Chain A
Amino acid sequence: MIIGIATSVGVLALLALTAGGLLAWLNHRWPRNTSAEIDAVDALLPQTQCAQCGYPGCRPYAQALVNDAAPITLCPPGGEALVQQLSEHLGRSADEALADAPARIALIDEARCIGCLLCIQACPVDAIVGARGYMHTVLVDECTGCELCLPPCPVDCIDLLAAAVSSKP
């Protein structure tokens, strides 16, 4: 009786230990293929390279996301839609509110703009239109509020305003 109980417990324990040991070895043998995972996350990010997330660009942020080192809500250009996608892709909760900064868009003070084209070159999403010598303007629907157009402007004619009502879906 006692022997029967002991063997059955022993056999099950041994089986579980063997399986666990084998899995630990396999986990070591087949490491996570992180570069392909990072590629997949990177493809979701908007590629504005605006660094508003605190990382130098989109790929470093993707890397931090795959390593679970960053919240999924740091990307203002991506907005709510990106948080949803990332939450599905990474299996993480989307409950964390989007970083409290409200959505902002750039506005060019057309009286001061000298038409130098510098902000057009800086804009990662082609949201500024204009020609040399003519004043430029911002496409409200395209602007992600990434602030990359501010430093190049020689006359400081660009301001960021709170977006009135987001026109994005």
Chain B
Amino acid sequence: MNELLLLLLATAFVNNFVLAQFLGLCPFVGTSGRFDTATSMGLATAFVLTFAALLSYAVYHSVLLPLDLAYLRIIAFIVIIAATVQATEMLLRSISPILHTAMGLYLPLITSNCAVLALALLAVDAQLSLLQTVVYALGASLGFSIVLALFAAARERTEQADAPAAFAGVPLALVTAGIMSLAFMGFKGMGT
């Protein structure tokens, strides 16, 4: 139990996917312009991350390993992730069309979010058990959502700031991301 909690916190903060492992940077920069879009994007990505990791685990251990096809895992995981994203989009379109239009193009782009594929690959490479995979995926989702929400909140404020023309907009956002990454380095050495 303690180990699982440690894994959760370590994945969410110490080895944060975005700020420590630099995965999934495109949605991190692309959808963090507004706080509410960022939070819904974080939730959608968390949903996809968890489900895709679970399905990947199932397919890897029940189909690929017994047939000695582990080398197919990248292609197989991509198919699984694409299907999960498509299903998420259908669900969202049915439940909340307004959120669906608000997230627009970024929703299908979760498919190409490298954090999703990395999570599935890292989980099978580290030979985690099913329970550990779930916790690992939840930790990654938590870390991604929190960081995205924090970054969006910071960006909404720097947007209003009286920055020098050369820094206004994207440069300031990237500097902010760098400082956040430095701050997350502070978690290094906790647990792991």
Contacts and interface: CB of A to CB of B under 8 A. Distances in A.
B32 to A, nearest CB: 20
Nearest to B87: A26
B93 A30 contact: yes
29 contacts: A8-B72, A11-B64, A11-B76, A12-B72, A12-B75, A12-B79, A15-B76, A16-B79, A19-B80, A20-B83, A22-B87, A23-B86, A23-B87, A26-B87, A27-B90, A30-B90, A30-B91, A30-B94, A30-B95, A31-B94, A32-B94, A32-B97, A33-B93, A33-B97, A36-B97, A36-B98, A37-B101, A40-B97, A40-B98
A169 interface: no
B130 interface: no
A89 interface: yes
B72 A11 contact: yes
Tell me the interface secondary structure of chain B in the complex: helix
Nearest to A90: B101
Give the size category of B's interface with A: 20 to 34
Give the size category of A's interface with B: 20 to 34
List the 4 shortest-distance A-B pairs measured between CB atoms, nearest first: A30-B94, A19-B83, A37-B97, A36-B97
Tell me the interface secondary structure of chain A in the complex: helix
Interface of B: 59, 63-64, 67, 69, 72, 75-76, 79-80, 82-83, 86-87, 90-91, 93-98, 101, 104-105
A25 B95 CA distance: 17
A47 interface: no
Nearest to A32: B93
Interface string A7-51: 110011001100110110011001111001100100000000000
Contacts of B75: 12
